[in-house]
Structure 1
């Protein structure tokens, strides 16, 4: 551990500790002693405790056992007691079958079971010599029940590689506590699923596509497994994944965004610190992003909400524990070079010149991000149109391996608009959903079928709208030109038309965290003028030209 390099992460951690430890119920006589879901135990606004808040166990364990400078929790008896309380409460909310709930009662969530088991298992490995022997045995039994449930269950509502990576990591840690070969075998099962769905281009699948933000998260669990096992096949996969991810690191310290399948932009740094000595792309990412996190240029610990607070906090602590001395990468990140890089399966084209670095998301209707070497930033996330019947349609629709016309430095992308997913919870809908959770939802197959339907309704299934976009993008050495042709099918009328530098077309709680680039100057007004709407309605076609000099 290098104290100077660790400090980059720890100074962010220290700033968040008041917020972090305000989340826990620390009263020993309380029914919810050790619960870290403050909305449940303090505000009493929810009717069940979310299991994933108990991932705080690892943060407390790490702080208690780490002799970092200025660490007020090192060998602090209160930190140890609170870590023990968090883990006991985690045990108390385990379902009878060994699983845990995250979003609603009787969910039996693979994600909640895997993530919490991993972090509690890691906490136990740090605290086993400090806790009563009876509690250690009890925790190992609880972890084994998690492992047995994960042996019998899998995730079927979509391929989310970060969930599968957490499941593999959980089974690896559980095996270290149980010595049950079945748990190690199941870890290999989850890894095999990830490998099968890893693209030849390097990226790990997230709901059908590449998502840079979630890839930084999932890569951490895989890197931790490699650290514990030395798995050569896993390291080969990680090196390939990091080569891809390097292209999604932007000059201003951000990454990902609307060209990804889940629109995420948060950055989890630990994997790249862990891999920095065995993967040059990982080392380059770690070296560049250290200062970006210090400046809070990327969406990190300060930006995330309560639902990502503990995974991000724990990740910073793992990064601090693995941060090497000053890194000297042997390779440059793509944005530091002049060149062109294509990932047709992901639907991505990257372009670097002496004046800018650009990412064109052909799989998302031509979403475009341009980063000037002078610090300027341009983002075009596509269009939305409000139709006369009140529904809103957008050109930001995920389409893997989209047909793209290319002529030298010119790209043409065609996409259909789809209707925006804007469902919100209401008292009536919430009551109906809870009645289902407490009644028919207890039947596992029915509950999982409904979950699959919810994912389709909110994320993966797109309903076509009566509009299309033909976007022509031309890249020059010091400019980017866009020519858009929007077509409206006969019989429908547009009420309003907009284009913006940041918006999302799907439900995704982990997207749209604040970044400083969001407050930069806009290159255009979001609302298009009325004359353009009139032209679209009268002729059924509208041409919009944009020219950006850099």
Structure 2
């Protein structure tokens, strides 16, 4: 391997190893403690939680990888205490699970499939890496596998289905029990059914390019183990779709996705790089731009940072000798519209733009210097205290005129929900958790999803957003109409980073969140005075203060 390739390769582990000390802080290291091996510091240390979150036990895997592999400048390689703590984490996952092998994520007796499969994959992979097939571990893995084979979750989250397939395959590898391979195949069939012919995977109500890379990573890990050509048939179109959402500055995805995420998992692209030139381009863009320029996303709270930590380490291990022959930023100008995802991409010599019509006109514009414009739609406050938004996924009236580079979305504004817990509501919620929720977790989960994620509290206020793309600029027309007799607005803005649904991995940091919100004062005044208003925005990407590295005004 050339020195330049090795320099690129070790960027994965240089990034990963900045997080390892944090993991040793998070885990209960006292072998005489009843919570020895728990990574949920809010439970075992702060004691602000009344149950352990099962998701945290995926932190076993970064420790196992650090112990087992001589990564560059790895001070944890071969250190026995690191191995002990990784295995203690697996054992706490076993001991803290319910009798049926399940675990919880956000509330007691949730039996959350996401937490189950993330931690099951990490724990089984830890046991594989460390070659520690203790009987009690295998018995626990099979109990959880049995539950997964007979239960699924509400909502369409393809990344969870792909990870379930991967975790179950690991259980098959560890036990040799053919029923777990068949259960893995059953989840893979769901992934196949939920992939659009445009290449993307369903995440609740549409395409989310961020979570899309999670699914790619999980499928690629599974393909490496199973060598099933049917998995490659899913991966190739998925990589081709992802290619459009790697931005010129190395940032990836954003609020134009159905779940508002900036996720980028590189391991799947390293695995696919020898087989798909676009995968090599995507991986190299991350290594040459996102990491050294700090344009990657940062999802660094305790609950979430393990997600990409072990993926970076695995990307190092599977670093492809085949790299891109042409850099991503050498892309010639193009237009690409995905009618089913209702996503439009335009690349010009001056900017790179992604527009979601599925979300009422959410726009992100980037240059190779950084974010130039970020627009998550209209958001305004009415005089009677409501907050209305245009950015929920909905069945909007959509027009796409590719020949003239003109696009339009129109529909009803929705009320933004911002319900916060109180001591009283938490007491009531715990009563539900311990009674009805204990025996019908999916019913409770479906209700919460309807309230927090997929519900559409539509109003009679309407909006229209039109976009005209020129080679060096973008024009945006904003229209709002107020129903007769309805309250007026105190203010209306175009937000740079506002979201309104609950997604644990959203509202994190990417450089575009520092772009300013724009107040539409003229639009607000017209709506209040006449019932309807209009205001234009001219976007000049070459003059963006952040793209030029200046402080925003």
Q: Structure 1 residue aligned with 2:238, among 238, 241, 253?
A: 241
Q: Structure 2 residue aligned with 1:539, among 520, 524, 530?
A: 530
TM-score (norm 1): 0.93
Q: Structure 1 residue aligned with 2:470, among 470, 476, 500?
A: 476
Unaligned runs of 5+ in 1: none
Q: Structure 1 residue aligned with 2:92, among 70, 89, 92?
A: 89
* Worse-matched range after superposition: 359-368 or 334-343: 334-343
Q: Structure 2 residue aligned with 1:518, among 513, 516, 526?
A: 513
Are residues 1:492 and 2:495 paired? no
Q: How does 1:417-428 map to 2 (within 5 A)?
A: 417-428=413-424
Give 1:388 deviation, angstroms. 2.6
Output one character per residue of 1:50-86: Cα deviation in whole Å (capped at 9) or x when no partner.
Answer: 1111111111111111012311111111111111211
CA contact (8 A) 1:481 1:546 kept: yes
Q: Structure 1 residue aligned with 2:337, among 327, 342, 349?
A: 342
Q: How does 1:224-239 map to 2 (within 5 A)?
A: 224-239=221-236
Corresponding residue SS for 1:413: strand
CA contact (8 A) 1:246 1:334 kept: no
Give 1:399 deviation, angstroms. 2.6
- Following superposition, which runs of at least 4 residues in structure 1 exceed 6 angstroms of deviation? none
Relative to structure 1, is the Cα distance of residues 37 and 373 closer, same or farther in structure 2, using a 3 angstrom cutoff?
Answer: closer
Query: RMSD of the alignment, in Å?
Result: 1.9
* Worse-matched range after superposition: 290-299 or 222-231: 290-299
Paired position in structure 2 for 1:435:
431
| Alignment partners' CA distance in 2, 1:112 and 1:166 | 11
Relative to structure 1, is the Cα distance of residues 126 and 402 closer, same or farther in structure 2, using a 3 angstrom cutoff?
Answer: farther
Give 1:400 deviation, angstroms. 5.7
| Alignment partners' CA distance in 1, 2:249 and 2:411 | 29
| Alignment partners' CA distance in 2, 1:405 and 1:275 | 33
Output one character per residue of 1:252-282: Cα deviation in whole Å (capped at 9) or x when no partner.
Answer: 1112111100000121111111211112221
Are residues 1:410 and 2:406 paired? yes
Relative to structure 1, is the Cα distance of residues 372 and 79 closer, same or farther in structure 2, using a 3 angstrom cutoff?
Answer: closer
Relative to structure 1, is the Cα distance of residues 448 and 323 closer, same or farther in structure 2, using a 3 angstrom cutoff?
Answer: same
Are residues 1:151 and 2:149 paired? yes
Paired position in structure 1 for 2:24:
21
Corresponding residue SS for 1:478: coil
Paired position in structure 2 for 1:251:
248
Output one character per residue of 1:65-110: Cα deviation in whole Å (capped at 9) or x when no partner.
Answer: 1012311111111111111211111110111112111111111121
* Worse-matched range after superposition: 168-177 or 497-506: 497-506
Give 1:448 deviation, angstroms. 1.3
Q: How does 1:247-326 map to 2 (within 5 A)?
A: 247-295=244-292, 297-300=294-297, 302-325=298-321
Corresponding residue SS for 1:95: coil
| Alignment partners' CA distance in 2, 1:189 and 1:331 | 38
Paired position in structure 2 for 1:60:
63
Are residues 1:528 and 2:520 paired? yes
Give 1:474 deviation, angstroms. 0.9
Give 1:299 deviation, angstroms. 4.1
Give 1:6 deviation, angstroms. 3.4
TM-score (norm 2): 0.93
Corresponding residue SS for 1:121: helix
* Worse-matched range after superposition: 218-227 or 104-113: 104-113
Give 1:486 deviation, angstroms. 1.2
Relative to structure 1, is the Cα distance of residues 333 and 465 closer, same or farther in structure 2, using a 3 angstrom cutoff?
Answer: farther
Paired position in structure 1 for 2:116:
113
| Alignment partners' CA distance in 2, 1:456 and 1:296 | 39
**How many pairs were matched up?**
536
Q: Structure 1 residue aligned with 2:217, among 203, 220, 228?
A: 220
CA contact (8 A) 1:147 1:174 kept: yes
Corresponding residue SS for 2:410: strand
Are residues 1:99 and 2:102 paired? yes
CA contact (8 A) 2:163 2:215 kept: yes
| Alignment partners' CA distance in 2, 1:69 and 1:412 | 51
